[in-house]
Amino acid sequence: MDLIQRFLKYVSYDTQSDTETGLTPSTPGQIIFARALEEELKTIGLDEVQLDSNGYLTATLPANCSKEVPVIGFIAHMDTSPDMSGKKVQPRIVRSYDGRDILLDEREGVYLQPSQFPELLHYIGHDLIVTNGKTLLGADDKAGIAEIISAMVYLKEHPEIKHGKIRICFTPDEEIGKGADLFDVKAFGAEWAYTVDGGEAGELEYENFNAAIAKISFKGLNVHPGSAKHKLINSIRLANQFITMIPRWETPEHTEEYEGFYHLTEVKGTVEETTLTYLIRDHDRFRFESRKKEMGHMVRKINAEFGPDTASLEVTDQYYNMKEKIEPVMHIVDLAYKSMEEVGVIPKIVPVRGGTDGAKLSYKGLPCPNIFAGGVNFHGRYEFIPISSMDKATAVIVKIAEKVAE
């Protein structure tokens, strides 16, 4: 089975994660996929293939050189985003893309258009894998899984390429921020690792957002609207007042690169009680902490106007910027950079405007930069991946293994 066959097979598994179940993995499709991968890893001849009860799948490619070489790892996640359906994914290969609009769904009139997604024009002449306009594709991160496995097969078939011991792990529930929660770093046994979970070819990332989730609850008082004067307190209106206090330019749609934001993701409400859910994001730790304090200040302003305990705030930190843990071992980033150059990929060091398993893993003692998997427009019907980018990602993994042994 080649790289593309693997990828097309993997995206057929419905592995959306789910924040509501409280289970690990959060959905049964992930463990079904993990078992299929477990059998494949055994078939291709990897050692120490283990699938634990939480859905973490690990395996080893033994060293084939005599000298002592650091143990490294490669990691990807099995789940797809809950943002859009990953059920019955029907990918299609567009051969030698010509730069025009790509029809995804004729019935609904869904097109993948360079006018909307100008990055398409980077891939004129390339073969692209696209969706049918009804689901996401799943390149995030089944492309990473296909690339890691294909790289391991290539190394086994080319023993002249010397490498040390390589560990791989496929994790559940990365898309809901839990992919590294039950990852056993000690048992994994690598000195450092790379998540293969980035976007376009060449991306190399060792910085990510500091992240928190905030839930703000508003208590109202419901009486009959016909006799409500000076009595009724509408919690929905209180929540709306709070929303307008958030700086409008500090939201995802108005920020880029190192700019942080507040992101309103959910509103649930009645007159009696309303809850807002916000994501708080910033690369800078000081500004991140300031954002949390500012949200607390806004809650106090609501309470000062409408009475104590009208509004309450619960903030939970999710992950931190891995830069703090990577900078002391920057040689692992330099190694990936040079590996990309040697296989003809132009490296692009960019900050992650989000998080990866590598962020939490770095704080658990496994430094873990992120390298590209090749996909574009993750989490929706316009997701696509150039086949050439997948080939390059596989080549980078092989080259990293080779250079570590050098």
Which domain CATH number covers 392? 3.40.630.10
Strand intervals (E) in 118-176:
128-130, 166-171
Task: Give the range of the structural domain holding residue 289, as residue numbers without chain letter.
Answer: 210-319
In angstroms, rounded to a whole number, what is the distance separating the alpha carbons of residues 316 and 171?
Answer: 22
CB 272 within 8 A of CB 235: yes
- The pLDDT value recorded for residue 340 is 98
Measured distance between the N- and C-terminal CA atoms of the chain, rounded to whole angstroms: 30
Residues 151 and 14 in one domain: yes
Q: What is the pLDDT of residues 71-111, one digit of tens each?
A: 999 999 999 999 899 999 999 999 999 999 999 999 999 99
AA identity, residue 138: G
Q: Dig out the tokens for 362 from the structure.
A: 């770095």
- The pLDDT value recorded for residue 66 is 87
Q: What is the pLDDT of residues 119-132, one digit of tens each?
A: 999 999 999 999 99
Domain's final residue, options 319, 341, 362:
319
Q: What parts of the chain have a pLDDT lower than 70?
A: none
As annotated, the active-site residues are 79, 174
Domain count along the chain: 2
- The pLDDT value recorded for residue 177 is 85
Q: What is the CA radius of gyration of the chain?
A: 23
In order, the DSSP letters of 342-362 are HTT---EE--BSS--HHHHHH
Residues 166 and 292 in one domain: no
Residues 247 and 156 in one domain: no
Question: Smallest Cα–Cα separation from 193: which of 218, 164, 221?
Answer: 164
Residues 309 and 334 in one domain: no
- The pLDDT value recorded for residue 1 is 79
Q: Sort strands 261-269 and 384-386 into parallel, antiparallel or unpaired.
A: unpaired
Which domain CATH number covers 249? 3.30.70.360
Residues 199 and 304 in one domain: no
Residues 107 and 126 in one domain: yes
Confidence (pTM)? 0.90
Domain's final residue, options 277, 295, 319:
319
Domain's final residue, options 319, 344, 375:
319
